[in-house]
Amino acid sequence: MKPIDRTYEFTVDARRDEVFALLSDARNLDLLTPPWFAFEIVSADAGRMDEGVEIEYRLRWRLMRFTWRSRVFGWRPLESFAYEQVDGPFRSFVHEHFFEDAPAGGTRVVDRVVYRPPGAALADRLLVAPDLDRIFSFREEKVSQVLERPIRESVRLVAVAD
């Protein structure tokens, strides 16, 4: 199965440094992850973000509990960073974050997730994709709540990666 490429974009009426600080601090992953995932950070260095830092956490997806470990790469403060699954349930999983000043003010956040799901395409269509959509919708709402600023625009794009 080819990788699936899902992009989630939103614009929030907040400064880029505020948005980056919230989304780049791994200690906030629990806050930004829906409660039905029973998310728990395990690694001691979870708050320190930099190139090569690994973060380990436990979570529940549907009826399965598992440990997931990610490595940070592409660390460019106020611009971008990414997590790559080192150990977890997916065949591969990369989550890239991009931050830019929005033309009408505020910050545009782009999250690109490229992954190969466990199981076949049907598992993605019925389970993984709907859950990713729910996760990113939840996250947008939390960003708006925590920063006490509205989300102005929200876009979702899906493609099959080459």
pLDDT in tens, 14-35: 999 999 999 999 889 889 999 9
Q: What secondary structure letter does DSSP report for 126?
A: I
The reported pLDDT for the residue numbered 47 is 66
Instruction: Tokens for 62, please give them.
Output: 């549907």
Q: In DSSP terms, which residues pair with 112 in a beta bridge? A: 7, 96
The reported pLDDT for the residue numbered 116 is 93
Of 92, 98, 83, nearest to 128 (Cα)?
92
The reported pLDDT for the residue numbered 147 is 97
Phi, psi of 102 (to 5 degrees): -80, 145
Instruction: Give the whole-angstrom CA distance, residue 81 versus residue 102.
Output: 18
What is the length of the chain? 162
Find tokens 């729910």 and name the residue: 134
- The answer to whether residue 105 scores a pLDDT higher than 70 is yes
- The answer to whether residue 51 scores a pLDDT higher than 90 is yes
Q: What secondary structure letter does DSSP report for 91?
A: S
Mean pLDDT of 85-104: 96
Output the pTM of the full model: 0.92
Of 30, 36, 12, nearest to 131 (Cα)?
36
Q: How do the residues of the chain divide into helix, strand and coil, expressed in percent and rounded to 5?
A: 30, 45, 30
Instruction: Tokens for 154, please give them.
Output: 């929200």
At 53, is the pLDDT very low, low, confident or very high (cuts 50, 70, 90)?
very high
Greatest CA separation found in the chain? 43
